[in-house]
Amino acid sequence: MNRDQIAIVQDTWQQVLPIAEVAADLFYDRLFELDPDVKDLFAQTDMSAQKAKLLATLASTIAGLNTSATLLRDLEELGRRHAAYGVRPAHYELIGEALLWTLERGLADRWSHEAAEAWAAAYALIAGQMQKGAKASQQSNVRRAM
Protein backbone atom coordinates (compact mmCIF):
# COMPACT_ATOMS: atom_id res chain seq x y z
CA MET A 1 0.00 0.00 0.00
CA ASN A 2 1.27 3.47 -0.72
CA ARG A 3 0.94 6.48 1.61
CA ASP A 4 -2.04 7.91 -0.26
CA GLN A 5 -3.92 4.65 -0.01
CA ILE A 6 -3.22 4.39 3.71
CA ALA A 7 -4.52 7.95 4.17
CA ILE A 8 -7.68 7.16 2.17
CA VAL A 9 -8.37 4.02 4.21
CA GLN A 10 -7.80 5.87 7.49
CA ASP A 11 -10.00 8.82 6.44
CA THR A 12 -12.87 6.73 5.13
CA TRP A 13 -12.70 4.53 8.24
CA GLN A 14 -13.28 7.66 10.35
CA GLN A 15 -16.33 8.38 8.22
CA VAL A 16 -17.71 4.87 8.74
CA LEU A 17 -17.21 4.96 12.52
CA PRO A 18 -20.40 6.89 13.36
CA ILE A 19 -22.41 4.11 11.67
CA ALA A 20 -20.07 1.27 12.65
CA GLU A 21 -22.73 -0.84 14.35
CA VAL A 22 -25.11 -0.64 11.42
CA ALA A 23 -22.18 -1.37 9.10
CA ALA A 24 -21.26 -4.45 11.14
CA ASP A 25 -24.86 -5.72 10.87
CA LEU A 26 -24.86 -5.09 7.13
CA PHE A 27 -21.49 -6.81 6.80
CA TYR A 28 -22.50 -10.10 8.46
CA ASP A 29 -25.90 -10.10 6.71
CA ARG A 30 -24.12 -9.72 3.40
CA LEU A 31 -21.57 -12.40 4.29
CA PHE A 32 -24.28 -14.94 5.15
CA GLU A 33 -26.17 -14.01 2.00
CA LEU A 34 -23.04 -14.60 -0.12
CA ASP A 35 -22.53 -18.02 1.46
CA PRO A 36 -25.14 -19.33 3.92
CA ASP A 37 -22.78 -22.18 4.93
CA VAL A 38 -20.49 -19.62 6.60
CA LYS A 39 -23.20 -19.26 9.27
CA ASP A 40 -22.21 -22.69 10.57
CA LEU A 41 -18.80 -21.31 11.59
CA PHE A 42 -20.60 -18.85 13.87
CA ALA A 43 -23.17 -21.32 15.23
CA GLN A 44 -21.95 -20.96 18.83
CA THR A 45 -20.92 -17.32 18.55
CA ASP A 46 -22.36 -14.35 20.40
CA MET A 47 -22.72 -12.19 17.30
CA SER A 48 -22.94 -8.83 19.03
CA ALA A 49 -19.66 -9.55 20.83
CA GLN A 50 -18.22 -10.80 17.55
CA LYS A 51 -19.19 -7.60 15.74
CA ALA A 52 -17.46 -5.56 18.43
CA LYS A 53 -14.31 -7.71 18.16
CA LEU A 54 -14.21 -7.38 14.39
CA LEU A 55 -14.64 -3.61 14.56
CA ALA A 56 -11.98 -3.28 17.27
CA THR A 57 -9.50 -5.35 15.28
CA LEU A 58 -10.18 -3.44 12.08
CA ALA A 59 -9.79 -0.15 13.96
CA SER A 60 -6.41 -1.04 15.44
CA THR A 61 -5.21 -2.58 12.17
CA ILE A 62 -6.17 0.49 10.17
CA ALA A 63 -4.68 2.85 12.73
CA GLY A 64 -1.45 0.83 12.67
CA LEU A 65 -1.06 0.68 8.89
CA ASN A 66 1.80 3.15 8.81
CA THR A 67 2.98 3.03 12.39
CA SER A 68 2.74 -0.36 14.03
CA ALA A 69 5.81 -2.55 14.17
CA THR A 70 3.79 -5.49 15.46
CA LEU A 71 0.87 -5.22 13.03
CA LEU A 72 2.03 -7.98 10.67
CA ARG A 73 2.85 -10.35 13.47
CA ASP A 74 -0.52 -9.71 15.16
CA LEU A 75 -2.33 -10.41 11.89
CA GLU A 76 -0.40 -13.64 11.44
CA GLU A 77 -1.45 -14.69 14.93
CA LEU A 78 -5.06 -13.78 14.15
CA GLY A 79 -4.88 -15.90 10.99
CA ARG A 80 -3.39 -18.77 12.92
CA ARG A 81 -6.36 -18.68 15.33
CA HIS A 82 -8.77 -18.47 12.39
CA ALA A 83 -7.41 -21.70 10.93
CA ALA A 84 -8.47 -23.34 14.19
CA TYR A 85 -11.99 -21.84 13.85
CA GLY A 86 -12.28 -23.72 10.54
CA VAL A 87 -11.70 -20.68 8.33
CA ARG A 88 -10.38 -21.61 4.87
CA PRO A 89 -8.76 -19.53 2.09
CA ALA A 90 -12.01 -19.18 0.10
CA HIS A 91 -13.64 -17.58 3.15
CA TYR A 92 -11.18 -14.69 2.92
CA GLU A 93 -12.49 -13.84 -0.54
CA LEU A 94 -16.04 -13.76 0.78
CA ILE A 95 -15.11 -11.52 3.68
CA GLY A 96 -13.27 -9.16 1.32
CA GLU A 97 -16.32 -8.98 -0.93
CA ALA A 98 -18.70 -8.39 1.99
CA LEU A 99 -16.38 -5.76 3.47
CA LEU A 100 -16.05 -3.70 0.28
CA TRP A 101 -19.78 -4.04 -0.36
CA THR A 102 -20.52 -2.73 3.15
CA LEU A 103 -18.08 0.16 2.88
CA GLU A 104 -19.49 1.18 -0.48
CA ARG A 105 -22.99 1.32 1.00
CA GLY A 106 -21.89 2.91 4.27
CA LEU A 107 -19.89 5.65 2.59
CA ALA A 108 -22.38 6.26 -0.21
CA ASP A 109 -21.26 9.32 -2.21
CA ARG A 110 -17.94 9.44 -0.36
CA TRP A 111 -17.03 6.10 -1.92
CA SER A 112 -14.83 6.42 -4.99
CA HIS A 113 -12.68 4.41 -7.33
CA GLU A 114 -9.62 5.44 -5.30
CA ALA A 115 -11.31 4.38 -2.06
CA ALA A 116 -12.20 1.01 -3.58
CA GLU A 117 -8.60 0.48 -4.67
CA ALA A 118 -7.17 1.58 -1.33
CA TRP A 119 -9.51 -0.71 0.63
CA ALA A 120 -8.82 -3.62 -1.70
CA ALA A 121 -5.10 -3.09 -1.05
CA ALA A 122 -5.66 -2.88 2.72
CA TYR A 123 -7.76 -6.03 2.73
CA ALA A 124 -5.22 -7.87 0.56
CA LEU A 125 -2.58 -6.99 3.13
CA ILE A 126 -4.74 -8.12 6.08
CA ALA A 127 -5.99 -11.33 4.44
CA GLY A 128 -2.56 -12.16 3.01
CA GLN A 129 -0.91 -11.84 6.38
CA MET A 130 -3.64 -13.80 8.15
CA GLN A 131 -3.36 -16.60 5.60
CA LYS A 132 0.38 -16.65 6.04
CA GLY A 133 -0.24 -17.34 9.73
CA ALA A 134 -2.86 -19.98 8.89
CA LYS A 135 -0.47 -21.75 6.52
CA ALA A 136 2.32 -21.72 9.07
CA SER A 137 0.01 -23.27 11.66
CA GLN A 138 -1.08 -26.00 9.24
CA GLN A 139 2.53 -26.78 8.42
CA SER A 140 3.44 -27.07 12.07
CA ASN A 141 0.40 -29.34 12.62
CA VAL A 142 1.59 -31.58 9.77
CA ARG A 143 5.07 -31.67 11.28
CA ARG A 144 3.60 -32.60 14.65
CA ALA A 145 1.54 -35.40 13.05
CA MET A 146 4.61 -36.93 11.38
Site for ligand HEM (CB under 6 A): which residue of 11, 29, 45, 66?
45
Whole-Å CA distances, 31 to 76, 108, 109, 117: 22, 19, 23, 20
Residue 53 binds ligand HEM (CB under 6 A): yes
Contact with ligand HEM (CB under 6 A): which of 15, 25, 42, 68? 42
Q: Which stretch binds ligand HEM (CB under 6 A): 13-21, 41-49, 65-73, 132-140?
A: 41-49
Among 9, 38, 62, 65, binds ligand HEM (CB under 6 A): 38
Stretch that binds ligand HEM, among 13-21, 40-48, 62-70, 108-116 (CB under 6 A): 40-48
Q: Tell me how far apart the alpha carbons of residues 108 and 111 are, in angstroms, rounded to a whole number.
A: 6
Burial 99-137 (b: 16+ CB within 10 A, else e): bbbbbeebbeeebeeebeebbebbbebbbebbbebbeeb
C-alpha neighbours within 13 Å on the C-beta side of residue 122? 28
By the rule CB under 6 A, 82 interacts with ligand HEM: yes
Which residues form the interface with ligand HEM (CB under 6 A)?
Answer: 38, 41-42, 44-45, 50, 53-54, 57-58, 78, 81-82, 85, 87, 91-92, 95, 126
